[in-house]
Amino acid sequence: MQAENNSAASRAPALAQLVWTHGRRVQAAGCVEEGFLWRRFCRRCSEGVLGQFSFLRGNLKLTNRMKSMKTFLTICLLPVVAHLCPLDAAQPGQKLWEFQTGGEGGFCPAIGADGTVYVASGDGKVYALCSSSVGGLARSPWPKFRHDAQNTGRWTAQPPGIERQPSLAVLKEGQEGRITVRVSGQPAPQVQWFFNGATVLAGTSATLILAAVTRAMEGTYLLVASNALGQATSAPIVAVVSNVDPERFVGLRWPGREGSGLTLESSDRLGPGVVWHSLSNYPPAATEQRFVELAPATAAFYRLSGSGSPPVFTGAGFVNGWQFAAPAATQHRIDYTMASTGWTNWLILTNLVLPANPYLFLDYESLGEAARVYRTTPMP
């Protein structure tokens, strides 16, 4: 890139014209930096064909020849050091000047330090417009990729921040586990993971990779991100280790009724002409009754029918369950944990002697409850 002398600072800018050997539409983002309007271009050409970009005149001159299928480069379109009319005489939205480029173009508006808005249009022109924000754009809550609020094309130095993180990580026993935290900051922060207060030696990236997960890896993880401007610490991430992948089945329960039986019915819709299908008959009973739909659920609505006023459902939702693949007559302890225990305290659900292999276990207590995580342990 070669700089050329130009006295355009005191008059309307001596605008540089952009030409290329294969004139096609080029779209890119614009930015204002060091008194020049810049564009970042993406250009395609066939393999082995040379494309050429150059400036005919202007404060900066650049020629680039490329041979790849797709090349990214940043070039200067024109200096923006003067206006055709004084800013104090212009009204917001008024055109300050325009320039005919070497072909059709387009880029996102760029904002100068004095508030001038620069846009390129499909008519092949670059326009400079007066804005009401003399100081340029205010700091935007919607950051742009590799730009600050004024599209200066520079990364604004920022202290580290934690943008997104989980509060719970369910790791599968014996498999690779991953915990990811999204970190922000410029320059890019260095990160360090901690497990139960101890440094994780291999934990120096935003994604912590745990090979061959064991139950000893349960506990609390933290990430600390730091750069020259400060540091940020994630909230605690609780990791639990499970060896169960439960399925969810539609479940219902209702109080028992003595004296007469009940029929559970289902339908895929409500309204005129609805047809109810019988699912199961229940004899008189004093204890609570329940139903779990083991087949793929096609019904959306359920009801109880019978003589008199049938009871109403006291629970409706999903029941957790999974297939055991272990020899029959072997004993297994089933534990679970949930948010109300802080995910750190495992509770014994039951000790199960498998009646068959395979065997479908259903946790009826999970109906209507918060999410649960399970693990099983073979017992002697």
Pick the more confident residue, 349 or 8: 349
pLDDT at 259: 83
- Residue 156 pLDDT greater than 50, yes or no: yes
Closest-CA residue to 45 (of 71, 12, 19): 71
Distance from C-alpha of 168 to C-alpha of 242, rounded to nearest angstrom: 13
Q: Give Cβ neighbours of residue 271 (< 8 Å, ≥ 6 apart).
A: none
The string of pLDDT tens digits covering residues 67-120 is 333 333 333 344 443 333 444 556 777 887 777 665 555 556 666 666 677 777
pLDDT at 187: 84
Query: What is the average pLDDT across 37-45?
Result: 41
Tell me, rounded to whole angstroms, the distance of Cα 365 from its chain centroid.
Answer: 33
Distance from C-alpha of 108 to C-alpha of 221, rounded to nearest angstrom: 42
Query: What is the average pLDDT across 164-185?
Result: 95
Query: What is the average pLDDT across 123-131?
Result: 75
Query: What is the average pLDDT across 49-64?
Result: 33
Distance from C-alpha of 76 to C-alpha of 135, rounded to nearest angstrom: 23
- Residue 27 pLDDT greater than 90, yes or no: no
pLDDT band at 60 (very low <50, low <70, confident <90, very high): very low
For a pLDDT cut of 90, what percent of the chain falls above it?
Answer: 46
- Residue 21 pLDDT greater than 80, yes or no: no
The count of C-alpha atoms lying within 13 angstroms of the C-alpha of 123, restricted to the half-sphere facing its C-beta, is: 7
Closest-CA residue to 219 (of 375, 337, 348, 344): 344
pLDDT at 227: 93
For the ranges 5-14, 91-100, 134-143, the lowest mean pLDDT is seen at 5-14
pLDDT at 87: 44
For a pLDDT cut of 70, what percent of the chain falls above it?
Answer: 64
The string of pLDDT tens digits covering residues 270-294 is 889 899 999 999 999 889 999 999 8
- Chain-wide mean pLDDT for the chain? 74
Distance from C-alpha of 46 to C-alpha of 68, rounded to nearest angstrom: 8
Query: What is the average pLDDT across 128-142?
Result: 59
Distances in whole angstroms, Cα of residue 167 to Cα of each of 19, 181, 342, 343: 54, 10, 11, 10
Strand ranges (DSSP E) for 173-275? 177-180, 182-186, 190-195, 198-199, 207-210, 219-227, 230-233, 237-242, 247-254, 262-267
pLDDT at 157: 77
pLDDT band at 158 (very low <50, low <70, confident <90, very high): confident
pLDDT at 234: 97
Angle formed at CA 53 by CA 49 and CA 56, multiple of 5 degrees? 140
Token digits for 360?
Answer: 């479908």
Question: Which pTM value belongs to this model?
Answer: 0.58
- Residue 66 pLDDT greater than 90, yes or no: no
Q: What's the CATH number for 159-242?
A: 2.60.40.10
- Residue 130 pLDDT greater than 90, yes or no: no
pLDDT at 114: 65
Instruction: Quickly list DSSP for 17-41.
Output: -EEESS---EEEEEEEETTEEEEEE
Query: What is the average pLDDT across 135-163?
Result: 61
Distances in whole angstroms, Cα of residue 172 to Cα of each of 150, 212, 238: 46, 9, 14
The string of pLDDT tens digits covering residues 246-276 is 999 999 999 988 888 899 999 988 889 899 9
The string of pLDDT tens digits covering residues 289-336 is 999 998 876 778 999 998 888 889 999 999 999 999 899 999 999 999
| Residue count of the chain | 380
SS3 51: strand
Residue pair 13/82 in contact by the 8 Å Cβ criterion: yes
pLDDT at 132: 63
Token digits for 319?
Answer: 């029941």
Distance from C-alpha of 123 to C-alpha of 106, rounded to nearest angstrom: 9
pLDDT band at 45 (very low <50, low <70, confident <90, very high): very low
- Residue 43 pLDDT greater than 70, yes or no: no
Pick the more confident residue, 74 or 155: 155
pLDDT at 64: 38
Domain ranges of the chain: 2-129, 159-242, 244-380
pLDDT at 121: 74
